[in-house]
Amino acid sequence: MPHPAKTTSQHGRQNTSRKDEIVQVRASARTKAMLNQAASLRGQKLSEFVLDSARRQAEETILDQRAFLLDPQAHERFLAILDAPTTLDKKLRALLTRKAAWES
């Protein structure tokens, strides 16, 4: 079984899977020109720029869906917990240093 190629993107992210999937997008000439200009400014190919931008937006969209509501009293307790100092025990240190799900 072939092993996936490992490459590192311009932003230091490691890509561990092969690029076998195709994503097609139609755009107006004006939009394509703007994307080409932005890609050029970053020193990227158009496809790299579009994929990196879309991936960042997807990550942000997924993370923004983490919402919860609290009554005023619970909200105040929550804020007090956030404001309280903490110590980094083994479990917390492991949580803060693990890779995000989309980096696997």
- Give the fold, CATH level 3, of 7-84: 1.20.5
> What's the pLDDT score for residue 14?
53
> What's the pLDDT score for residue 3?
44
> What's the pLDDT score for residue 38?
97
- In sequence order, what are the residues at sequence separation of 6 or more whose Cβ sits closer than 8 angstroms to the Cβ of residue 48? 9, 10, 39
Exposure b/e, 53-74, CB count within 10 A at least 16 = b: eeeeeeeeeeeeeeeeeeeeee
Residue 100 pLDDT exceeds 90:
no
Domain layout of the chain by residue ranges: 7-84
> What's the pLDDT score for residue 30?
97
Residue 7 pLDDT exceeds 80:
no
- pLDDT band, very low/low/confident/very high, at 96 (cuts 50, 70, 90): confident
> What's the pLDDT score for residue 2?
43
- pLDDT band, very low/low/confident/very high, at 73 (cuts 50, 70, 90): very high
